[in-house]
Amino acid sequence: GAMGGSASLIPRDLLGEYQELTFLSKQEILLAYKRFSELLPKEERESAFSARVPKSHILTLPELRANPFQHRICHVFSTSETGDDSMSFEDFLDMLSVFSDSATSDIKSYYAFRIFDFDDDGTLDRKDLEQLVNCLTGQGEESRLSSAEMEQLIHNILEESDIDRDGTINLSEFQHVVSRSPDFASSFKIVL
Amino acid sequence: RDSQQAETEHLSRWKRWRRTSSKSLKKALSEVRGLSSYLVLWRRDIHSIEGKFGTGIQSYFSFLRFLVLLNFIIFILVFSFVILPIIISKYGIFNSTIAYISPKNIDKNCTIYEPSGNKGLVYFYTYLKDLFSGTGFLEVTSLFYGYYTIDTVWISVMRYNLPLAYLLATFAYLALSFLWIMKRSGEGFMQNLVHDADPFQSYCNKVFAGWDFCITDPNAAQLKHRSLQYELQMDLQEEKLKQKIAERTMKEKLRIYSLRIFINIIVIAILSGCFYAIYRVTVFSQGNSNVSIRNDTRTDSPNLFMQYLPSMVITLVNFNGPLIFAFLIRYEDYAPALEIKLTLMRCVFVRLANIGVLLFSLWGQISNCDTDKCKPCGYNYKLYPCWESDVGREMYKLMIFDFLVILAVPLFVDFPRRLLVTHCSCKLIQWFGQKEFQISDNVLEIIYGQTICWIGTFFSPLLPAIATIKYFIIFYVKKVILIHTCKPAARPIRASSSNFFFLGMLLIGLILAFIPLGVSIARIPSSKACGPFRNFNTSWEVIPDTVLQFPTALQQILFGMASEAFAVPFFMIICIIMFYVIALARAHKRVVEQLREQLVLESHDKMFLIRKIAEAQR
């Protein structure tokens, strides 16, 4: 059926290699290939492996269109040299692998850190946390927390996670606090 | 990919071979897992629910799936050890025969038992009535305990001791349920013990793990945004409230504590009233069944309403109890999270205690020995010649009624409500609004049903099969209700805390199920007119009886283990181990605290050095 058809489009050794390098199973890789090639215009579908899909097309995927972190996700996983956040098939697989069920929590927390780091400076400071909370509560004026509430919330977050009291959260502090969080593994996943 | 290839070049040949073989093993395992994932029940349904309503509600449906599997396995266990040998011997496969129990040393009167299986021509509606009340033709089937009046089953030359198998199967399914639930709740429980910060309320958990990346529907995303905002605001408010509570004066504290004690007394009074009502109704319903007490015989009431009266009263209490508790708890001025937990605890207690009260009032009737009625046999043999079947019948009726209520409520309440809300724009109805999927109420329903199943399986071995079918149908009913009539809750329950909560409540139900079963197996004399334990005083006695047939050395060991000389030192050793482990955990916590302080000092040192370097560079 469909699986047999697309299996012939991915050479076997490449499929095996993808299975080794990512956390995805064979069915998931084939399904990812099918969805990725649907995003390409018809002429480019044959050379799916070298094509790059612009960000606007990626954001039409149902799994990403409702996600408030969609721009950050594209930015983090894109390996485009021109900085336009377009994704190749391998970037796409990379993203699905990190968000899959079988990815280790280390990998997930590393990429979560990079996604939440809005200014890409390697630490989560107050501005990053503020933007993070605003993403969570939704776009729009009436859905934001008041500044007093935001202050109290950021103060509490730093209190719980900033171990060395330097006012920012670095990668190891973030990974430590996320390892104690029971919901992280079940919420940080995307399954096609 | 590049880094992996670079790594492989550096390894020796032996390690390279090991790595490739482990990779191929992993590939094989993942293939098997891929195939077996197709077999997981309802995988796609639960995934779509997760996408639209979030992981909190999805955990409810996973819980339902777990119960279907549990009941199915219990049924397989009971079937293969109790029912299968009987079927084999009934059809004479493997040259097998049945040896029925012949009563020894028992008063003739105790053994009179004539179940009125329908004889002759009867109206069709009698069958229907019997189906619902477990009497008539159902009474003599393998549904109830009374059918298993079998001593041994001879399969070719092997002797299969059915009474022992029946009792051991009961213990086995209880132990299996207990272990499976413990295994499933293991993770959440460990986290709760080790980390002192309450992980379910932690802000970091809510912010970093707050967004459900599984959500695909923009409407659901909108709702999730709003619920996150609401949740964060509620938590911040609650924190401010806690600060205020900590600053309360002595006078205020006294006032609040005395108010709480008063309200608790009211709650206890209400509960006692409900229990008394259930007791009276059960006695009344049983009394009504004894149509001609003068002739000292018992025929069941032809009135279906009278038969279902205890079930109806219990359902009424189960329904009103939570409303009353929710109303009262507002005056007790607790923190909001504690309010929810306390209300849920009280509701669970009410539901489970209702079953207990029903059973104990039944036993009161059975052991009603005021005018010498029990002399020969130890229980009221004239009215209840086969009392286990009667208890089984009550459990069966409870289960059927519970199922009917769960089917009827959506049909007569939820769908009309949804229709009214969408088509009628009257202000009052719009204020009522669409129904929210209340997870806690639904979970209490299932736990109530499961507790009935656990208690009832001893008296009615086919009950787990009925429970499996019941939960199977309930899954689809609830799914339809969810998708067509509900809007997602404004205050969602988180996935992790829900899993732990569901399993914890289920465990409480299981432990409470041990009590009635223990009493009926070990204390109340088993009926002499039917059942596998005819020749024993109580059902438990089959085990000492079997042990006496073991070789003497083994007997002595087993009796030694059961005596006080072994039990007391064993208990003391367990206490010592427990205290040791607690002391170890406390020491670990202290080490963690010290390490944290060290980390803070390190960062101060780092800041200090950086400043020094900056100064030196100037």
Other CB atoms within 10 A of residue A68 CB: 18
Candidates B421, B470, B428, B476; CA nearest to B446 is B470
How many interface pairs between A and B have CB atoms less than 8 angstroms apart?
151
Q: Is B195 close to A180, i.e. CB distance below 8 A?
A: yes
With respect to residue A119, please indicate whether it lies within any of the assigned structural domains.
yes
Q: Which residue of B has its CA nearest to A151?
A: B236
**Domains: count for chain A:** 2
Q: State which of A70, A99, A128 marks the end of a domain.
A: A99
Residue of A157, A186, A188, A191 to mutate, interface with B, max B Cβ within 10 Å: A186
What pLDDT is recorded for position B175?
Answer: 93
State mean pLDDT over B335-353: 78
Q: Is B55 close to A63, i.e. CB distance below 8 A?
A: no
pLDDT beyond 80 at B58: no
What pLDDT is recorded for position B540?
Answer: 86
State mean pLDDT over B230-256: 80
State how far residue A177 is from chain B, nearest Cα, in angstroms: 7
State mean pLDDT over B435-453: 83
pLDDT > 90 in chain B, percent:
10
State mean pLDDT over B75-94: 84
Q: A60 and A129: one domain?
A: no
pLDDT > 70 in chain B, percent:
79
Tokens encoding B570: 């064993």
pLDDT tens profile B130-175: 777 777 777 777 788 877 777 777 777 778 888 888 899 999 999 9
Residue ranges of E strands in B527-595: none
Q: B450 and B592: one domain?
A: no
State mean pLDDT over B408-418: 81
Q: B327 and B274: one domain?
A: yes
Q: Which residue of B has its CA nearest to A139?
A: B225
Q: State which of A38, A65, A99 marks the end of a domain.
A: A99
Tokens encoding B375: 């002399």
State mean pLDDT over B253-277: 88
Buried b vs exposed e over B116-155: b needs ≥16 C-beta within 10 Å?
eebeeeeeeeeeebbebbbbbbbbbeebbbbbbbbbbbbb
- The letter for the amino acid at B185 is S
The dihedral through the CA atoms of A126, A159, B192, A106 has a sign that is: positive
Residue of A132, A175, A181, A184 to mutate, interface with B, max B Cβ within 10 Å: A181
Q: B357 and B392: one domain?
A: yes
What pLDDT is recorded for position B297?
Answer: 46
pLDDT beyond 60 at B293: no
State mean pLDDT over A68-85: 84
With respect to residue B34, please indicate whether it lies within any of the assigned structural domains.
no
What pLDDT is recorded for position A113?
Answer: 92
Candidates A149, A188, A161; CA nearest to B202 is A161
Rounded CA-CA distance B120/B610 in Å is: 101
State mean pLDDT over B10-34: 68
Residue ranges of E strands in B432-533: 435-436, 486-487
With respect to residue B394, please indicate whether it lies within any of the assigned structural domains.
yes
* pLDDT band with cut points at 50, 70 and 90 for residue B471: very high
With respect to residue B171, please indicate whether it lies within any of the assigned structural domains.
yes
Q: What are the φ and ψ backbone dihedral angles of A46, each rounded to 5 degrees?
A: -70, -40
Q: State which of A69, A99, A129 marks the end of a domain.
A: A99
What pLDDT is recorded for position A6?
Answer: 47
State how far residue A81 is from chain B, nearest Cα, in angstroms: 18
Rounded CA-CA distance A77/A91 in Å is: 6
CB-nearest to B218 from A66, A136, A186 is: A66
CB-nearest to B209 from A20, A152, A181 is: A181
What pLDDT is recorded for position B60?
Answer: 84
Query: Burial of B558 by CB count in 10 Å (0-12 exposed, 13-18 middle, 19+ buried)?
Result: middle
With respect to residue A148, please indicate whether it lies within any of the assigned structural domains.
yes
State how far residue A40 is from chain B, nearest Cα, in angstroms: 21
Q: Is B207 close to A149, i.e. CB distance below 8 A?
A: no
Q: Is B225 close to A137, i.e. CB distance below 8 A?
A: yes
pLDDT tens profile A46-75: 666 777 888 888 888 888 888 888 888 888
CB-nearest to A152 from B188, B236, B606 is: B236
State how far residue A87 is from chain B, nearest Cα, in angstroms: 17
Quote the domain boundaries for residue A85.
Answer: 12-99
pLDDT tens profile B34-48: 666 555 667 777 777
Q: Which residue of A has its CA nearest to B221?
A: A66
State how far residue B598 is from chain A, nearest Cα, in angstroms: 9
Q: B460 and B575: one domain?
A: no
Q: A150 and A113: one domain?
A: yes
Helix extents (H) in chain A: 2-7, 12-21, 26-39, 55-58, 62-65, 70-77, 89-98, 105-116, 126-137, 147-161, 171-179, 184-187
Quote the domain boundaries for residue B300.
Answer: 45-77+108-151+165-197+248-550
Q: What are the φ and ψ backbone dihedral angles of B20, each rounded to 5 degrees?
A: -65, -35
User: Tokens 């938590």 label which residue?
Assistant: B235
pLDDT tens profile B167-198: 999 999 999 999 988 888 776 565 555 444 45
Rounded CA-CA distance B221/B358 in Å is: 46
Q: Is B47 close to A186, i.e. CB distance below 8 A?
A: no
The dihedral through the CA atoms of B248, B249, B253, B255 has a sign that is: negative
What pLDDT is recorded for position B574?
Answer: 93
pLDDT beyond 50 at B430: yes
Q: What is the pTM of this model?
A: 0.73
Q: What are the φ and ψ backbone dihedral angles of A166, each rounded to 5 degrees?
A: -105, 10
Q: Is B205 close to A68, i.e. CB distance below 8 A?
A: no
State how far residue A136 is from chain B, nearest Cα, in angstroms: 6
What is the residue-averaged pLDDT of chain A? 82
Between CA B62 and CA B43, with CA B435 as vertex, the angle to 5 degrees is 20
- Supply the CATH number for residue A141's domain: 1.10.238.10
Rounded CA-CA distance B447/B439 in Å is: 12
pLDDT tens profile A141-187: 777 888 888 898 888 888 888 877 788 888 888 888 888 777 788 78
Q: Is B205 close to A161, i.e. CB distance below 8 A?
A: no
Q: Is A157 close to B204, i.e. CB distance below 8 A?
A: yes
pLDDT beyond 50 at B294: no
What pLDDT is recorded for position B251?
Answer: 85
Chain A CB contacts of B199 under 8 Å are 180-182
With respect to residue B229, please indicate whether it lies within any of the assigned structural domains.
no
With respect to residue A3, please indicate whether it lies within any of the assigned structural domains.
no
User: Tokens 């189960």 label which residue?
Assistant: B318
Chain B CB contacts of A188 under 8 Å are 209, 213
Residue of B204, B233, B609 to mutate, interface with A, max A Cβ within 10 Å: B204
Q: B451 and B570: one domain?
A: no
Tokens encoding B167: 């009792």
What pLDDT is recorded for position B197?
Answer: 46
- Are A176 and A85 in contact, with CB atoms under 8 Å apart? no
Q: A91 and A56: one domain?
A: yes
* pLDDT band with cut points at 50, 70 and 90 for residue B292: very low
Segment among A83-87, B63-67, B332-336 with least mean pLDDT: B332-336
What pLDDT is recorded for position B508?
Answer: 87
With respect to residue A178, please indicate whether it lies within any of the assigned structural domains.
yes
Q: B332 and B416: one domain?
A: yes
Q: Which residue of B has its CA nearest to A144?
A: B229
What pLDDT is recorded for position A188?
Answer: 85
